[in-house]
Structure 1
Amino acid sequence: MGLVGQRWALGVEYDGSGFAGWQLQDGPRTVQGVLEGALAAIAGHPIRVSVAGRTDAGVHALCQVLHFDSSVVRPEIAWVRGSNRFLPREIAVRWAKPVPQDFHARFSATGRSYRYLILNRQERPALAAGRVTWVPQPLDHRAMQEASSLLLGTHDFSAFRASACQAKSPVRSLRRLDLERRDDLLIATVEANAFLHHMVRNLIGTLLFVGRGERPPGWVAEVLASCDRRLAGATAPADGLYFHSVSYPQIYRIPSCSGIFV
């Protein structure tokens, strides 16, 4: 193993509030940059990671999955606890697992899910500040759920795609978009084969128009059919968005994650 190298998969949790997103950048602090530094300290050589889904500035993750290659022999516990010693409190490695060389955190994935948390009360949050999106106006979550059902299926999601999106195709298969209310907290669970840049935040921003009574539920179907980003709602804040989980073929035996928040 030490000669040919081993591919490792890692499950990582992070609070994205203090980072300029996942991807490496010149200057700004990023999740990828901090993680690669910690892993390199354990490996004794530079590490470059590939991730299941890049997150924007301020977006969090419950179980982000990544992979990297290393020529050194280390037990699983070393990659977990050793890396966590070098990581700031906002990032934690949850598990590490050796995987075959054909495993790829991004390209082997068959689905991804996000959760979006909305605090729906008149008073602003204190303990949850930066981790939920605060909406003080009353929201009709049943109308939002009715609207969300019109978005399910395989469609051209150009109306919910950021102008900077680099995806070759705007077609995605939206498998789930559920909304659950727990007292003042509204939780949206969104699953798809893959997502466009800002797709989840643009979907939520559009559903908020419906929740506030500014548009009827059927309006979202018109927005979807238009393929026109200008007709959809504003991009919802990053604060409430969590990269929740990734699905892979069973052959890889990638661990699942549960979370205390979402």
Structure 2
Amino acid sequence: MPRFALKIEYHGAPFVGWQRQVDLPSVQGAIEAALAKLEPRDHTIAAAGRTDAGVHALAQVAHCDMTGDWQAFRLSEALNYHLKPQPVAITACVAVEEDFHARFTALERRYLFRILSRRAPATHQEGLVWQVKHDLDETAMQAAADILVGKHDFTTFRSTICQAESPVKTLDHLKVSRVETPGGTEFHFDVRARSFLHNQVRSFVGTLERVGAGSWTPQDVQAALEARDRAACGPVCPPQGLYLAHVSYPVDPFA
């Protein structure tokens, strides 16, 4: 069966997350339903990351197996037609080898989190950022972020329902940037690792926001990490500012 890699963009607000759930709207379910319009049968697709409810994607990657002799461009066009009006788009589609797996072949996932700092309510960015009304100290947040980079036991920063076998992960990169935009000051968190624990990025950002606001110090983050206790984590931030931004592979299928 010909296998295709799909690069997918979506707005997470209408969905319970990526993963298919019975009688609930999911991104996986939407794409599988569109595939069934093209080849009437049950379809199961695999993705690089299972994003939670409300989380967005700029470049999620999934793969699907087809029976027909599809051209990649025709397949993406047909899928986008049947996905309307849902906020899901196939932005790239390529034929890949049968041993390509969107999840297991991936080398690194990159997430972007956006905080909007301004007093006035968000309008154009509503649902796409986490808005706070106070300024943040990006230097302090970066100092705390540097503590989290590397191989650690991240028990403090994972959900109590996380199903990962081990809390030990290696965080490759966590960069905090202040970005001035026409809509106000944004703080971007660029987070990269081979894999993540459930709610790990949102736990990081919620904790670092407390540092930026002056309620925590970088030393408090060090103590929270060393505690290996979920109760030591700062608040978990809301999902709407989080984006799956990029997935890396040994050979980029979309290059």
* TM-score interval for Structure 1 and Structure 2 normalised by the shorter chain: over 0.9
- Matched residue type, 2:150: G
Q: Residue in 1 aligned with 2:11?
A: 15
SS of alignment partner, residue 116 of structure 1: strand
1:119 paired residue among 116, 119, 129:
116
2:161 paired residue among 156, 160, 164:
164
Q: Distance in 1 between matches of 2:136 and 2:246?
A: 27
SS of alignment partner, residue 150 of structure 1: helix
> How do residues 206-217 of structure 1 correspond to structure 2 at under 5 angstroms?
206-217=207-218
Q: Residue in 2 aligned with 1:42?
A: 38
Deviations 1:139-168 (A, max 9, x none): 111100111011100111111000111011
Contact 2:34 2:82 in 1 (8 A): yes
TM-score, normalised on structure 1?
A: 0.93
Alignment partner of 1:84 is 2:80: yes
SS of alignment partner, residue 148 of structure 2: coil
Q: Distance in 2 between matches of 1:50 and 1:78?
A: 21
2:97 paired residue among 87, 96, 100:
100
Alignment partner of 1:66 is 2:62: yes
Q: Distance in 2 between matches of 1:74 and 1:224?
A: 49
Alignment partner of 1:148 is 2:176: no
- Matched residue type, 1:254: P
Alignment partner of 1:174 is 2:175: no
Gaps of 5+ in 2: none
Q: Residue in 2 aligned with 1:193?
A: 194
Instruction: Quote the offset at 1:89 in angstroms.
Output: 4.2
Contact 1:42 1:78 in 2 (8 A): no
Contact 1:180 1:186 in 2 (8 A): yes
Gaps of 5+ in 1: 257-262
2:107 paired residue among 106, 110, 113:
110
Alignment partner of 1:129 is 2:126: yes
Q: Distance in 1 between matches of 2:171 and 2:228?
A: 15
SS of alignment partner, residue 218 of structure 1: helix
Instruction: Quote the offset at 1:45 in angstroms.
Output: 3.1
CA RMSD in angstroms comes to 1.1
Instruction: Quote the offset at 1:226 in angstroms.
Output: 1.0
- Matched residue type, 1:255: F
Q: Residue in 1 aligned with 2:230?
A: 229
TM-score, normalised on structure 2?
A: 0.95
- Matched residue type, 2:186: L
Q: Residue in 2 aligned with 1:25?
A: 21
Number of aligned residues: 250
